[in-house]
Chain A
Amino acid sequence: MIIQPGTAAPDFVLRRADGAEFTRADLEGATTVLVFYPFAFSPVCTDQLNLYDEILDELAAQGATLYGVSCDATYSQTAFRERLGVSIEQLSDFEPKGAACRAFGVYHPAGFPQRALVIIGPDGVVRWSYEAPSPSELPGANLIFDGLAAAAA
């Protein structure tokens, strides 16, 4: 099951595009929106990141930073990001594959992240989470703002 609000974010290691680690410590001090998506270059993920790219300014205005997370290798994620022309930073859960996704409870048994959203407060505690009913369903950007509102309440 996806990680629930009120739970401290687990320890995890993701990789940024340049190979640097992104860990629990990187969540502290800012609100973080993790967007777990199944595969780089898949059709729904493309629409999802394109749409979310349009709301980054509004998120920043609320002090929130949004990241894309998948099990693709960093090079694939960078190619995906450049192909789409989006600025959303990508985090890779490539090796050990899916370990961070498992820690957040969003790893699909078929070997990819469920399409899910997790909002983590500046204190490292999960404030809101959402798992799409199926990987083919694209969560609207409105859900992220609903989640932020719930997180701030």
Chain B
Amino acid sequence: MSELRSAPVPAIGAEDHVRGPADAPLVIEYADFECPFCAALSAKLAGARVRRGFRHFPVRSSHPRAWAAACAAEAAALQGRFWEMHDLLFADQGRLEDPHLWERARRLELDLDRFESDRRSDAVSGRVRRDFESGVRAGVVTTPTVFAGGRMHAGEIDVAALEAPGG
């Protein structure tokens, strides 16, 4: 049967992008780089004492460049610069066309040819798709949605509550 049937949100694994103190409460975000609410939450989480795991949840019809932006972040990840690209994408959501993605790659001093072929590769789109499907299985319907302390939070997310141990 389908891989999209309901299941708990997967635990953080080797493939995930994680940052923050190892002993801080874990927050798994499902987000989309073209979503303004995701950018706002990301800025708040940046100032919170949490350990963040980021997963892609691009919905193309609402955000036509979300998928391309997610793939750009994964292509940067293959050169060890996921979080830097993540921050640059959220910092300027009005500029997500290809030339804007190349400009970010240049600023991060990535190998541009490799970035360009990676972001269009099946491996990278499969990586984004796996995140999306794990979110669907866990019941994510809108962005941003976060999982913390065994609970799902969506809509107006209280970041201070996420900092408390056990979410």
Contact = CB atoms under 8 A, between A and B. Distances in A.
Interface string B1-29: 11111110000000000000000000000
B40 interface: no
Contacts of B141: 47-48, 51, 138-141
B139 A142 contact: yes
A140 B1 contact: no
B69 interface: no
Contacts of A53: 59-61
Interface in B18-77: 59-62, 64
A149 B1 contact: yes
A58 B1 CA distance: 10
A13 interface: no
A49 B33 CA distance: 20
Contact of A138 (B1, B61, B137, B142): B142
Contacts of A55: 4, 136
Given A142-B6, A145-B4, A47 B142 contact: yes
A2 interface: no
Contact of A50 (B2, B4, B61, B140): B61
A58 B6 contact: no
A54 interface: yes
B115 interface: no
B147 interface: no
A61 B1 CA distance: 10
Interface residues of A toward B: which range? 20 to 34
A62 B2 CA distance: 8
B132 interface: yes
A149 B141 CA distance: 20
Contacts of B132: 54
A73 to B, nearest CB: 22
A12 to B, nearest CB: 28
A54 B64 CA distance: 12
A30 interface: no
A62 B60 CA distance: 22
A53 B107 CA distance: 35
B59 A145 contact: no
A61 B140 CA distance: 22
Contacts of B4: 55, 58, 141-142, 144-145
A58 B59 contact: no
A126 B137 CA distance: 23
A152 interface: yes
Contact of A85 (B5, B61, B139): B61
A103 interface: no
A140 B139 contact: yes
Interface of A: 46-51, 53-55, 58, 61-62, 84-86, 138-146, 148-149, 152
Name the 3 nearest CB pairs between A and B, nearest first. Answer: A140-B139, A145-B4, A142-B6
11 contacts: A50-B61, A51-B59, A51-B136, A53-B60, A55-B4, A139-B141, A140-B139, A142-B4, A145-B5, A146-B6, A149-B5
